[in-house]
Structure 1
């Protein structure tokens, strides 16, 4: 049957209004990096849309935004980032009045005064840092599950303050997240038992909080600033540690120069394993954060003698 043009037009118009209303009702959330998005997605309700700015293969330490991403920030109801010590490319933009009312930093710089491990050795040569931790703080807070729970609580509070949201559902999601993260934490501790005595080295300090939480032996960090080469003295110190270490394993990251760390470990008996602090291959689901944590464990277990690849 042929539908009269006027009736069809009215029907299409009504459909357009319904679709438009649904889109307008959707809460738009922008996160700086994917690990933050994984935590947000565990807390957010189904009518909330999440996205992250830094794409796969890029680093938040030197990223340059596209115009479309600036538009996404302008359209966002709330913006989550770790903070100025981490995503330096957002510092100037998010410090302005345009975004100040809807931007949430997840790192409490006043509360966290962790003593940096062997900090002096990483300042060799007087190099500056792409993300400044001169006060000894490590901004890679998401790799520590207890800090991830604190991040989730902050996220819940920020989302609950938005107009028209289901606060009860947010609270339920938060409680489920806490339970699942702590269950995963116990499982991870058991999985990592065989790796307790391995001498681990990391490309930069992103792995430090994970190692501390699970009492792993992180004996050296190649560079605090992955955008600059460390000084010659620091490289020599790391090479000496690698020679004297118990089955040394270097945890590298896919975002950074492979040839550089290969060159400084040449002729050394070192195992290599790759982990991804930005969770590039992890699907954004309510359980994505736990899957991310397990992926770190997988990388560490690749360092075991029976799994080694030099």
Structure 2
């Protein structure tokens, strides 16, 4: 009987001592989705920046600071997207995992703040996320790795389908509201002929508006795209009198329910929106 009690106490103690999955916090919904896929049933990350907030000008609220203070790991795109988070995360106890790097160059060789729009970048990020979670929680390392590989396989399959759809289009030139889509465009062979603004933080210059106006009036562009939550009044004005078609893109998944499926849905919907406009314009 004593032996049975001793074994029972040992088993209970060992179970109690078993490490729990790390508490993870993320910056934006696409990163939250990738981390959620890797964590699977082991836990769910928190998200700092809501769908209606601008990550470029994010300012921490007290409730968000409290959430960050309880996290073990903070997984975020990096200071190229959310410069306001850099100092806060550096001061926190959480391990910082900035996913974007200069490997995905944007302007002047700096990390592309919108690199998640390239599924190939997301595939690399899934590896990084799994490695970081495995280091913090070795007991569940195999689960993290398996979940990561499954998510990568789904993204490769999705990318292949998108490649096949765009391969049927001869003209892939578009105009966008602001310079945020290079990662997606480069991956899928889309040409961004112009962006009305270099950043959603600044109003377009008169010269830039005139350039886009001339481009659209020349009939060289079949489609332009606004963005969820941003005014497209100027693009509507400069495209008036042309046959240019319009669409709306959602680069952060603001209109998609948050969760593991958000990232793939975001990429699929962006491809559908661009392809439908270009295909319709050429028909």
The TM-score, its normalising length taken from structure 2, stands at 0.84
Bigger mean CA offset, 289-298 vs 242-251: 242-251
Q: Is the 8 A contact 1:57 1:254 kept in 2?
A: no
- After TM superposition, give the deviation of residue 245 of structure 1 in Å: 4.2
Q: Is the 8 A contact 1:249 1:303 kept in 2?
A: yes
Name the SS of the counterpart of 2:57 in structure 1.
Answer: coil
Partner of 1:173: 147
**1:234-290, Cα deviation, whole Å (9 max, x unpaired):** 221122222234442111111222334334434443221011000123344444322
Q: Report the number of matched residues.
A: 265
* 2:246 equivalent to 1:272: yes
Instruction: State how 1:161-310 maps to structure 2 within 5 Å.
Output: 161-163=135-137, 165-304=139-278, 306=280
Contact 1:239 1:264 in 2 (8 A): yes
1:37 and 1:52 in contact (8 A); partners too: yes
| Residue 59 of structure 2 is aligned to residue 64 of structure 1 | yes
Would you say 1:25 and 2:20 are equivalent positions? yes
Change (3 A) 1:196 1:152: farther
Task: Answer with 46-55 or 280-289: which moved more.
Answer: 280-289
Where 1:278 maps in the other structure, the secondary structure is coil
Q: Deviations over 1:57-110 (max 9, x none)?
A: 2221122232111111111121111111111221221233x34x511100122x
Q: Which runs of 5+ in 2 are unaligned?
A: 1-15
Task: Give the structure 1 partner of residue 98 of structure 2.
Answer: 105
CA distance in 2, matches of 1:160, 1:196: 45
**Aligned 8 A contact 1:223 1:230 in 2:** yes
Deviations 1:101-154 (Å, cap 9, x if unpaired)?
511100122x34x4x5xxxxxxxxxxxxxxxx4545422111111111111111
Are residues 196 and 70 of structure 1, via their aligned partners in 2, closer, same or farther at CA, if it must alter by over 3 Å?
A: farther
2:205 and 2:257 map into 1 onto residues whose CA distance is 38
User: What's the TM-score, normalizing by structure 1?
Assistant: 0.78
Q: Distance in 2 between matches of 1:55 and 1:287?
A: 17
